[in-house]
Structure formats: C-alpha cells, structure tokens
C-alpha cells in the first residue's frame, strides 16, 4: 500500500491535532488554572492597556501608583505568571512522554517545580525587558514602530525558550541560547505558527467580539474560555511539536 509523504508542516499540524484530540481531557484539566490567572490579571488594577493580545504599560499613570498599589500589582502578576508557567510545564511534559517515548517518572514529576520556576523567571525577564523598552522609547520619535519591532525581535528569537526548558531540561539562559539557535535555523516554523495563530485568533475574535451574533457580555466570556481552554493549549502543543522536530528520531 503506497504511503503518501506529507510535508513537514502538514505532519506537524497532524501530530499536534492528533495529540490534542487524544489528550483533550488532560489538556483541559491543565488549562483550567489559566482562567484563574486571567481573573487575577483582570482584577489587578495595573496601569496597562491591551493591544494585539498583550498588556502594555500606561507610562503616564506610573506617578499615580501608591506603594500598596505596586505591591498588589507585582504579587498579582507573579501569581498569574506562575500559573501560566505551570500550565506550560504540564502540557510539555505530556508531549515529551508521548513524542519522545519517555515516561513521566518520579524524577520528571519532581522537576515540575524546577521547570515552573525557570519558565517563571524567563517570563519575568521578558516582562521586565518590555517594561524597560517601553520606558526607553517613551515619547521618542517613531516609538509606535520602534517599540513593537524590538519586542517582536525578542519574542521571535526567544520563542522556543519555555519549550527548551522542559524538553531539554535546560536552565533559563541555556534554553534561551537553544531558542536563538533554532530560530536562526528554522524561521519557517516560527512564521508558520505566527500566521496560523493570528488567523485563528482573528477569526474567533471577529465572531465573538465584533459580529454581535452572540450577545455581549456572554460572547466575551465564551471567547476567553475558548481561548484559554482550547486555542492557547493547541498553539502551545504546536509550538512544542515544532521544537521537537530538531530530533530526527522523534519525527
């Protein structure tokens, strides 16, 4: 019986979708805490606004913050980041045991805290970098183009860092180096992921937030739930499958 050879990209999407379907119950269970993280971020009154799916600082509001405000914001964001990190770790370990033919032994399970700490450290570093960049480019000529461009470059080269921390059992900075290396070697993977993610989120965003097919605010809550429980986990799975492609035996 002849075998039809799929392209690498098609194979990655096929692996991701099949894994997603087969482990959907576990994936949803691991993703539920992200709703708590979203609620924390929505509750904390940080001087930020949302654009392109990411929080940005309202620089002019900083002088209005009290010491208590700052403590609440920092604690809230750290708690949310830690929850996101735990979700990333759990789903990546699930993929690692399936795709790389390893078992989630007690050694790996005891590493959950270590992986979560490393990913939390990375996310905090990224948040601080973005914070400093926004302050550095505040009211500078071309800030509306310069700031997003620099953030994109950081995000591009460090795209695989959380995955490398879990899959390769690396510390934060070693994982960053691995991510940069793979980003230079395989730009097609990252841009494919990005285009797919933008298209998917745009379509869902239009349907639930712009079309008025479902009345608000119900449509907004449905969108958030779908995003956190289904869309984000699938994008995370696809990202990890792309990273594992560097191992020939895992294909």
pLDDT tens figures, 48-66: 544 444 455 544 455 566 7
Closest CA to 156 of 180, 125, 185, 122: 180
Share of the chain above pLDDT 70, in %: 82
Question: Is the confidence at residue 105, as pLDDT, over 70?
Answer: no
pLDDT tens figures, 1-52: 333 345 788 889 999 999 999 999 999 999 999 999 888 887 775 555 444 4
The reply to whether 162 falls in a domain is yes
pTM of the model: 0.84
* pLDDT at residue 43, as a whole number: 79
**3-class SS of residue 102:** coil
The reply to whether 2 falls in a domain is no
The reply to whether 3 falls in a domain is no
Asked whether the beta carbons of 112 and 129 are under 8 A apart, the reply is: no
Question: Is the confidence at residue 248, as pLDDT, over 80?
Answer: no
Question: Is the confidence at residue 96, as pLDDT, over 90?
Answer: no
Cα separation of the two ends of the chain: 21
Element (H, E) at 51: strand 48-51
The reply to whether 1 falls in a domain is no
Domain range for 55 is 8-250
Average pLDDT of the segment spanning 177-202: 95
* pLDDT at residue 182, as a whole number: 96
Q: What is the mean pLDDT of the chain?
A: 83
pLDDT tens figures, 131-187: 888 778 777 777 778 888 888 999 999 999 999 999 998 999 999 999 999 999 999
The count of structural domains within the chain is 1
């Amino acid at each position: 019986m002849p075998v039809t050879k799929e392209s690498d990209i098609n194979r990655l999407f096929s692996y991701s979708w099949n894994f997603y379907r087969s482990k959907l119950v576990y994936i949803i269970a691991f993703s539920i805490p992200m709703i708590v993280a979203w609620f924390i971020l929505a509750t904390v009154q940080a001087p930020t606004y949302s654009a392109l799916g990411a929080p940005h600082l309202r620089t002019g509001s900083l002088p209005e913050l009290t010491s208590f405000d700052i403590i609440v914001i920092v604690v809230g964001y750290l708690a949310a980041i830690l929850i996101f990190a735990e979700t990333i770790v759990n789903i990546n370990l699930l993929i690692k045991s399936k795709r790389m033919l390893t078992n989630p032994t007690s050694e790996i399970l005891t590493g959950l805290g270590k992986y979560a700490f490393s990913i939390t450290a990375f996310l905090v570093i990224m948040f601080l970098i973005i914070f400093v960049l926004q302050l550095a480019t505040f009211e500078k000529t071309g800030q509306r183009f310069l700031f997003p461009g620099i953030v994109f470059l950081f995000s591009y080269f460090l795209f695989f860092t959380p995955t490398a921390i879990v899959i390769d059992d690396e510390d934060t900075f070693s994982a960053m180096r691995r991510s940069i290396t793979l980003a230079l070697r395989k730009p097609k993977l990252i841009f494919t992921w990005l285009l797919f993610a933008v298209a998917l989120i745009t379509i869902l965003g239009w349907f639930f937030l712009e079309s008025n097919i479902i009345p608000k605010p119900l449509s907004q809550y449905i969108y958030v739930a779908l995003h956190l429980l289904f869309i984000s986990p699938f994008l995370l799975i696809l990202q990890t499958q792309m990273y594992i492609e560097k191992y020939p035996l895992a294909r």
